[in-house]
Amino acid sequence: MELRTLYPPIEPHDSGMLDVGDGDSIYWEVCGNPDGKPLVMVHGGPGAGCNAEHRRQFDPEAYRIVLFDQRNCGRSLPHASDPAVSLENNTTWNLVADMERLREHLGIDRWLVYGGSWGSALSLAYAQTHPDRVTELVLRGIFTLRPFELYWFYQEGASLLFPDLWEEYIAPIPEDEREDLIAAFAERVNSPDAEVRLPAARAWARWEGSAITLLPNKELVDHFGEPDYAVAFARIENHYFTNGGFFEDEQLIRDVDRIRHIPAVIVQGRYDVCTPPATAWDLHRAWPEAEFHMVDDAGHSFDEPGILHRLIEATDRFAKDR
Ligand code: STX
């Protein structure tokens, strides 16, 4: 079978900064067909930002493609790479409100919501809050930030699959502070002292960068280790995980009833070490109406070949419904 691959590179035809209050502005851009079906892409991390590859997941003839960088990351300002920038107003529910503000700013009535990883969590939170604004959901690498999901990747579990990379992750944390690694990293990635902050942020981000693809990808790991990227990513992720994603227990699975009427596709890699398939399976069990694809030869990242194939197939199919 011929696998679907990325569309050709494109540039935005419109972009800007949107003031979302609290001193924050978020960067947004629109690509593709100005008269196409509206689609919003919700990026991961939290704290990862959007890039030019993300634009290429969608048919530019069919879609009016909206991408935005969530608060304090990517091209949004102020940027979390500066440890003096407070993350106090960076919460799931403020990001949901930011998406509503952006939708109204662009004059969009309803849109297809597309998100992977943390983007799947924020997409679910958005859809469960504003179900009338969502035409379809396409979700990949399901992440709901339940305590065991965080424990698995940042404390113990994934450590058993990648003992070599794990050593590098925990290196900045003294042995007597390793019972709670998320807490130990919180102190360091937020430190005003760059000699404390940088090694911790790089270790945190490189750990994630090395475990999200099925096979090692050095370029990706090095990208995650760039100082400004790593500090913003590590600070924002750590802030969300310290706060349980600002969710109640099992909230995103519990509230599936609010969205089960919305057409949806769920795509999950079998060997996704970052957001392991148990969560996608729980979502599938709670929401059997949503089309579910377990991709047997893929890890976490959107550009794993089998994952990308299913994602593009899904948005191409939904492009026909307007
Ligand atoms: N973080 C999961 C997540 O959303 C726990 C994520 N991890 N890496 C990414 O996203 C990118 C590849 C998008 C940077």
The strand pairing partners of 20, in sequence order, are: none
Which of ligand 1's atoms lies nearest the C-alpha of 143?
A: 2
| C-alpha 73 – ligand 1 centre gap (Å) | 13
Q: Which of 124, 150, 212 best tests ligand 1's pocket when mutated (most atoms within 8 Å of CB)?
A: 212
Per the listing, tokens 């949806």 go with: 264
pLDDT one-digit tens code per residue, 3-42: 999 999 999 999 999 999 999 999 999 999 999 999 999 9
CA 127 to each of CA 39, 46, 222, 273: distance values in angstroms, whole numbers, following the listed order = 13, 17, 34, 26
Residue 181 confidence (pLDDT): 98
List the structure tokens of 177.
Answer: 């502070």
Look at residue 287 in the predicted model and tell me its pLDDT.
Answer: 98
End-to-end CA distance of the chain: 29
Q: What mean pLDDT is predicted for residues 252-268?
A: 98
Tokens of 12: 């935005």
Whether residue 242 has pLDDT greater than 90: yes
pLDDT, position 66: 99
Which range has the worst mean pLDDT, 117-126, 215-224, 241-250?
215-224
> Residue 21, SS3?
strand
- What's the 261 CA to ligand 1 centre distance in angstroms? 28
Average pLDDT taken over every residue of the chain: 97
Residues with CB under 6 A from ligand 1: 44-45, 48, 117-118, 143, 208, 212, 274, 301
Q: Which atom of ligand 1 is nearest to the CA of 301?
A: 12
Measured by CA distance, the residue closest to atom 14 of ligand 1 is 48
The pLDDT-based confidence of 321 (bands split at 50, 70, 90) is: confident
Can you tell me which atom of ligand 1 is nearest the CA of 117?
4
On the question of pLDDT at 322 being above 90, the answer is: no
Of 148, 136, 134, 140, the closest CA to residue 117 belongs to 140
Question: In which band, very low, low, confident or very high, does the pLDDT at 1 lie, cut at 50, 70 and 90?
Answer: confident
Nearest-5° Cα angle at 206, 137 to 95? 35
The rounded Cα 180 to chain-centroid distance in angstroms is 23
Average pLDDT over residues 266-281: 97
Distance 137 CA to ligand 1 centre (A): 19
| Contacts of residue 86, Cβ cutoff 8 Å, sequence gap at least 6 | none
Beta bridge partners of 39: 65, 112
**258: which 2 tokens?**
């609010």
Tokens 């990227």 map to which residue?
229
Residue nearest to atom 13 of ligand 1 (CA): 44
* CA-wise closest residue to 225 among 237, 214, 233: 233
- Tell me the percentage of the chain whose pLDDT exceeds 90: 98
Whether the link from the prior residue into 288 is cis, omega within 30° of 0, is no
- The reported pLDDT for the residue numbered 10 is 98
Residues of the chain above pLDDT 70, percent: 100
The 8-class DSSP code of residue 321 comes to: -
The alpha carbon dihedral of 295, 297, 300, 301 has a sign of: negative
Closest CA to 242 of 170, 309, 187: 187
- pTM comes to 0.98
pLDDT of residue 43: 98
Q: How much of the chain is helix, strand and coil, in % rounded to 5?
A: 45, 15, 40
Bridge partners of residue 24, in order along the sequence: 21
Tell me the best of 274, 302, 311 to mutate to test the pocket of ligand 1, counting ligand atoms within 8 Å of each CB and taking the most: 274
Length of the chain as a residue count? 322
Query: Which residues carry out catalysis?
Result: 117, 272, 300
Confidence of residue 239 (pLDDT cuts 50, 70, 90): very high
Cα 212 to middle of ligand 1, angstroms: 8
Measured CA distances, 96 to 18, 148, 247, 279 (Å): 14, 24, 13, 22
- Nearest atom, ligand 1, residue 48 CA: 14
